[in-house]
Amino acid sequence: MSKPLENVRVLDLTNVLAGPFCCHQLAHMGAEVIKVEAVGRGDLARQLGADPDLNSRNMGVSFLAQNAGKKSVTVNLKHPDGKAVFLRLVKTADVVVENFRPGVMTRLGVGYEELKKLKPDLVYCAISGFGQEGPWVHRPAYDQIIQGASGVMSITGDEESAPLRVGYPIADTVGGMTAAFAIAASLNGTPKGGFLDISMLESVLSTMGWAVSNHLIAGQEPRAHGNENPTSAPSGAFEAGGGLLNIAANKDEQWVLLTNHLDLAHLRDRPEYATREDRKKNRKALKGEIEEVLRTRPARDWAEELNRIGVPAGAILSVPEILSVPQIADRGFLCTFAEVPGVGRDIQVVTTGIKVNGKAPTVADPPPQLGQHNEQVWRELGLSDSEMENLKYSGAI
């Protein structure tokens, strides 16, 4: 299957999540991604994850999760010979992605201004917590820091539990996806190339459109609503038999269908539930009346019935549960690699939320061991055996 980014070479100088996640998307869309890692230690994510044995092997779960399909080379950018061989590699590349603190690449002599002299049409993407300028530019930025600074934590949870961290690294992944989109767009530009400044903070804020606009336009400060949808009622998570059930009866016709199906049509005659705004004001009492019926049967049964009649609903599932349902398991979303080198067993990883002409883009190769492709990549640059040996001996690669 032809892929949109075939014949695009990306140099991935990133660590841990935002940058690797960005380049993970590019790899699945056909780009050749060469992961340029520090000599001896590589990406910090190699030592992170829920399996201590894999961490000790430099193949941590956090690394495996978003590095399939990439090649790995090692280079010491602080060594003059390492920097020189890296610059030779840049001449062959279309894209460079890095997520160092602003200014680090320039101090190493491999910032955008230097690299574009070698490759004028280079797309250079710098991912950072707060962007390349401004009073916070030198602050360290981890996912939780961005979640807190962006306001995400202030609106997550309910009045009693907020502020809460979202249960996965949403700032890293949103920042990475924003970077992947910007890179793909820049590759299609005329002229091609340029400097992309990706702020994780601004990337997250841009996804908070409704919450931010309620403040900017309507003058309402966003606050935590827990599992309730503040724009409508009944809309939120309801107690059913054996677990929680999401229901989104956001339209008046869905409200009618829901109450009919639950034998609660009489609620529509009550003045406190007459309109959407009335239902929103009295949502707590309304929720209690609906839950009395829902508790009599399992959440998954209700979900099937309600969806069938046109009321959006779904049982709240765990990660293992959703991965096992046919909607995910049968659509090529998960990719299996057999007997992965450095891991010693089969692994399954996620791909992307994209289908191209009905098929899920996949990569052929599992996540690489540190420096696995040194011989291949450096030899492609024309390095001789003696040059390779000298560079290894000196610690340059």
Q: What is the DSSP string of 63-121?
A: HHTT-TT-EEEE--TTSHHHHHHHHHHHTT-SEEEE-SPTTHHHHTT-SHHHHHHH-TT
Phi, psi of 255 (to 5 degrees): -60, -40
For 16-65, how does the pLDDT look when each residue is reduced to its tens digit (9 = 90+)? 999 999 999 999 999 999 999 999 999 999 999 999 999 999 999 999 99
How many angstroms from the chain centroid is the CA of residue 53?
Answer: 25
Q: What is the mean pLDDT of residues 334-338?
A: 95
Express as a percent the part of the chain with pLDDT over 90. Answer: 95
Token pair, residue 42, equals 């590589």
Name the segment(s) of the chain with CATH classification 3.40.50.10540.
9-209+331-394
For 111-145, how does the pLDDT look when each residue is reduced to its tens digit (9 = 90+)? 999 999 999 999 999 999 999 999 999 998 899 99
Which candidate, 148, 273, 140, places its Cα nearest to that of 204?
A: 148
Q: Which fold would CATH assign to domain 235-317?
A: formyl-coa transferase, domain 3 (3.30.1540)
pLDDT at 168: 95
Residues near 52 by beta carbon (within 8 Å), at least 6 away in sequence: none
Position 372, amino acid: Q
What would the DSSP string read from start to end of 7-57?
A: T-EEEE---TTHHHHHHHHHHHTT-EEEEEE-TTT--GGGG-SS-HHHHHT
Q: Rounded to the nearest 10 degrees, what angle do helices 209-216 and 200-207 cross at?
A: 80
Q: What is the mean pLDDT of residues 343-354?
A: 95
CB 110 within 8 A of CB 118: no
- pLDDT exceeds cutoff 80 at 1: no
- Confidence band for 225, pLDDT divided at 50, 70 and 90: very high
Give CA torsion, residues 169, 172, 178, 182, to 10 deg: -150
Burial of 56 (0-12, 13-18, 19+ CB in 10 A): exposed
CB 346 within 8 A of CB 333: no
Task: Count CB-CB contacts under 10 A for residue 36.
Answer: 24
According to DSSP, the β-strands at 71-74 and 235-240 are: unpaired
Q: Which fold would CATH assign to domain 9-209+331-394?
A: Rossmann fold (3.40.50)
Token pair, residue 88, equals 């030779």
For 65-86, how does the pLDDT look when each residue is reduced to its tens digit (9 = 90+)? 999 999 999 999 999 999 999 9
pLDDT at 190: 82
Residues near 232 by beta carbon (within 8 Å), at least 6 away in sequence: 248, 249, 250, 276, 279, 280
Among 186-190, 251-255, 283-287, 312-316, the least confident range: 186-190
pLDDT at 289: 97
Give dist(CA 41, CA 47) in Å, integer.
Answer: 9
pLDDT at 117: 95
pLDDT at 2: 82
Express as a percent the part of the chain with pLDDT over 70. Answer: 100
Which residues are tagged catalytic?
A: 172
Q: What is the mean pLDDT of residues 350-378?
A: 94
Token pair, residue 58, equals 């430099």
Average pLDDT over the chain, rounded to an integer: 95
